[in-house]
Amino acid sequence: MGLAVKFLLDSVIRIDHFNGIRIATQFIGDHASESALSVITRAEVLAGFDADATGLSLNLGTVRIVL
């Protein structure tokens, strides 16, 4: 059985991470294995990036996506 999801991450923490807010990046790194994003959060974050954003999919992929 997989690990339980303890944290459903909001778009704000992901956006803070992409804006270089160290505490957000640290939280995501420390809790990635027990965190998830909703498909809505993923869409909100992706909507704020240019089509040319490289590595974004990989960076969003550090946590699970839940429906």
- Per-residue pLDDT reduced to its tens digit, 22-53: 999 999 999 988 998 888 888 888 887 776 65
Indicate the number of domains in the chain: 1
Q: Is residue 57 part of a domain?
A: yes
Provide the whole-model pTM: 0.69
Q: Is residue 22 part of a domain?
A: yes
pLDDT of residue 62: 57
Q: Is residue 39 part of a domain?
A: yes
Taking phi first (over 0 means left), then psi (-120 to 50 degrees means alpha), and beta for anything else, what does residue 59 get?
A: alpha
Q: Evaluate whether 40 touches 10 at the Cβ level (below 8 Å).
A: no
Q: Is residue 2 part of a domain?
A: no
Q: Evaluate whether 48 touches 62 at the Cβ level (below 8 Å).
A: no
Q: Is residue 1 part of a domain?
A: no
Q: Which domain holds residue 36?
A: 7-66
pLDDT of residue 58: 47
